[in-house]
């Protein structure tokens, strides 16, 4: 008979005693697969899942088994094949979904990790780029969802990881050609395109870069999720209608170490999908967010780096917010239920700001107006529970990041000008006809801006990793 060995373990402040030699493994190590995945992901590691599948657009095949020696070609096929809890490793290349439709749907709890060399021997998401960049060829098949559409609910402890993917709609959006001497083009000297063209617009007198470009309001990442979702080490570029717009139905979202550039509406908007407060938590940290554009060229609303939505607890810290077309942070949404609003926990600390057009934080002022707050005054914003150490960039930091930003784009944004003209002729034939029918007469209005939503150069986006040490997205290791 084996003698009993009495031991004492001190783990995470808990004392475990009187273990025999047959059960020395602490119960704390008896973790579920979801707990192991969540712990590895939270530590910044690439988790080991229930199964590992490999995807390579250049040397894969959709009838392959998904092993490292026989990778799958299509990311959508790999997702469909993967069991829940699997890790999908994706090699460099452009992934357009099933039959190159231009979008991928994620409908189960899996981890998608990009940035691998083609033989999967190395990982460097900047060097070995795993991209989702639909072009005009995908215009008619891109559906009515984001480039990546996440629809995964049902498990509060389920784990979803999106790591090292480059999202870019710059090849499918409609842009005016860069006619620098034509005000319709809205192209500052040196920009690679003129302004973006929105739904219902048809610029006169100047052609478009992509005549068949898309004018639809689809996101880079869309959908709804429940559980533990992490989005990290990604690039979100030239989004027509939000970079990330999702609903969280309970759980925790961690969005960190990403670069967001030249997206319309907002870089990140996560809504709360449950009636109960304090059931959804969002952390948005160590991201670099630049050039977030307003809804239209009138520049009257939207254009936020990050939006605090009702019912959602949110911590925003260690980010860089620069050149937001309206405001860096939007905290204007107030829950009509005062009890719920009082329980809501929102914070912003240790963030750097520069060049945000109206302010660093936008608050409601009553009567439908807004209050624009600079970083130095965040202490006085009662909506922020934690508010310390937010500040404007100093001169050295501004010079450092300016060297990393595309120079013509930055110069054009800083120098934006706009004009608005209107005309009304009651004696025009159309107004005479409308008047005879008892209809209101109409006038015309023309808005001209020197820049609006122009495409940001793809290669320049990667220089923004590590632009300012300690703030924003850092070099991916």
Give the domains, in start order, of the chain with CATH numbers: 1-30 (no CATH), 52-408+456-464 (2.160.20), 419-449 (no CATH)
Q: In whole angstroms, what is the distance from residue 398 CA to residue 403 CA?
A: 9
For the residues 343-364, what does the mean pLDDT come to?
A: 95
For the residues 167-171, what does the mean pLDDT come to?
A: 95
Q: 23 falls in which pLDDT band (50, 70, 90)?
A: very low
Q: In whole angstroms, what is the distance from residue 245 CA to residue 253 CA?
A: 12
Question: Taking 70 as the threshold, does the pLDDT of residue 442 lie above it?
Answer: no
SS3 138: helix
Question: Taking 90 as the threshold, does the pLDDT of residue 124 lie above it?
Answer: yes
Q: 15 falls in which pLDDT band (50, 70, 90)?
A: very low
For the residues 306-316, what does the mean pLDDT come to?
A: 95
Q: In whole angstroms, what is the distance from residue 305 CA to residue 302 CA?
A: 9
Q: In whole angstroms, what is the distance from residue 298 CA to residue 263 CA?
A: 16
Question: Taking 90 as the threshold, does the pLDDT of residue 402 lie above it?
Answer: yes
The larger pLDDT score, comparing residue 117 to residue 446, is at 117
Question: Taking 90 as the threshold, does the pLDDT of residue 204 lie above it?
Answer: no
Of the candidates 197, 250, 196, the residue with the CA atom closest to the CA atom of residue 226: 250
Q: Residues 270, 243: contact at Cβ < 8 Å?
A: no
Q: In whole angstroms, what is the distance from residue 105 CA to residue 305 CA?
A: 25
Report the phi/psi class of residue 467: left, alpha or beta, with left for phi > 0 and alpha for psi in -120 to 50.
alpha
- Residue 10, pLDDT score: 28
- Residue 47, pLDDT score: 86
Question: Taking 90 as the threshold, does the pLDDT of residue 438 lie above it?
Answer: no
Q: Residues 328, 319: contact at Cβ < 8 Å?
A: no
Question: Taking 80 as the threshold, does the pLDDT of residue 160 lie above it?
Answer: yes
Hey, which bits of 30-152 come out as E strands? 52-55, 87-91, 93-94, 104-106, 111-116, 130-132, 148-152
- Residue 305, pLDDT score: 97
**For the ranges 196-200, 284-288, 465-469, which has the lowest average pLDDT?**
196-200
For the residues 339-348, what does the mean pLDDT come to?
A: 93
- Residue 396, pLDDT score: 96
Q: In whole angstroms, what is the distance from residue 269 CA to residue 288 CA?
A: 15
Question: Taking 90 as the threshold, does the pLDDT of residue 66 lie above it?
Answer: yes
Q: 201 falls in which pLDDT band (50, 70, 90)?
A: confident
- Element of type H or E holding 460: helix 458-461
Token representation of residue 448: 């001209």
Provide the whole-model pTM. Answer: 0.88
- Residue 419, pLDDT score: 66
Question: Taking 50 as the threshold, does the pLDDT of residue 20 lie above it?
Answer: no
Q: Residues 5, 17: contact at Cβ < 8 Å?
A: no
- Residue 436, pLDDT score: 67
Q: 18 falls in which pLDDT band (50, 70, 90)?
A: very low
Q: What is the DSSP letter of 66?
A: -
The residue with tokens 């309206």 is 326
Name 404's Cβ contacts closer than 8 Å, sequence gap at least 6: 460, 463, 464, 467
């Amino acid at each position: 008979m084996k003698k009993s060995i009495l031991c004492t373990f001190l783990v995470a402040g808990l004392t475990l005693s009187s273990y025999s030699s047959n059960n020395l493994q602490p119960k704390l190590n008896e973790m579920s697969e979801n707990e192991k995945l969540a712990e590895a992901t939270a530590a910044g590691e690439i988790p080991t899942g229930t199964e590992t599948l490999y995807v390579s657009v250049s040397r894969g095949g959709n009838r392959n088994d998904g092993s490292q020696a026989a990778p799958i070609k299509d990311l959508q096929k790999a997702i469909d094949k993967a069991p829940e809890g699997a890790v999908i490793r994706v090699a460099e290349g452009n992934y357009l979904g099933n039959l190159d439709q231009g979008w991928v749907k994620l409908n189960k709890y899996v981890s998608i990790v990009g940035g691998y060399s083609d033989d999967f021997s190395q990982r460097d998401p900047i060097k070995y780029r795993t991209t989702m960049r639909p072009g005009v060829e995908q215009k008619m098949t891109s559906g009515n969802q984001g480039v990546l559409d996440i629809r995964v609910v049902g498990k509060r402890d389920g784990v979803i990881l999106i790591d090292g993917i480059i999202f870019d709609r710059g090849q499918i959006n409609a842009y005016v050609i860069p006619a620098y001497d034509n005000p319709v083009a809205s192209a500052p000297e040196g920009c690679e395109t003129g302004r973006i063209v929105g739904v219902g617009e048809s610029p006169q007198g100047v052609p478009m870069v992509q005549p068949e470009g898309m004018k639809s309001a689809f996101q880079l990442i869309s959908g709804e999720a429940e559980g533990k979702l992490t989005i990290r080490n990604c690039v979100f570029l030239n989004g027509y209608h939000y970079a990330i717009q999702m609903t969280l139905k309970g759980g925790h979202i961690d969005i960190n170490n990403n670069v967001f550039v030249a997206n319309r509406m907002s870089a990140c908007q996560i809504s709360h999908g449950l009636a109960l407060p304090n059931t959804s938590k969002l952390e948005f940290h160590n991201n670099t967010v630049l050039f977030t554009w307003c809804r239209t060229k009138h520049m009257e609303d939207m254009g936020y780096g990050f939006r605090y939505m009702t019912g959602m607890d949110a911590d925003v810290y260690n980010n860089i917010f620069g050149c937001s077309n309206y405001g860096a942070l939007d905290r204007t949404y107030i829950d009509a239920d005062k009890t719920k609003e009082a329980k809501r926990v929102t914070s912003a600390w240790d963030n750097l700001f520069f060049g945000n057009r109206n302010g660093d934080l936008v608050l409601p002022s009553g009567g439908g107006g807004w209050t624009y707050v600079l970083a130095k005054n965040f202490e006085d914003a009662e909506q922020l529970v934690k508010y310390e150490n937010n500040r404007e960039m100093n001169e050295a930091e501004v010079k450092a990041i300016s060297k990393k930003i595309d120079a013509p784009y930055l110069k054009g944004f800083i120098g934006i000008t706009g004009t608005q003209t209107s005309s009304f002729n009651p004696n025009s034939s159309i107004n005479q006809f409308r008047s005879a029918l008892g209809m209101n007469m109409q006038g015309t209005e023309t808005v001209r801006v020197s820049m609006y939503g122009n495409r940001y150069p793809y290669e320049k986006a990667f220089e923004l990793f590590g632009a300012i040490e300690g703030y924003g997205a850092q070099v991916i290791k």
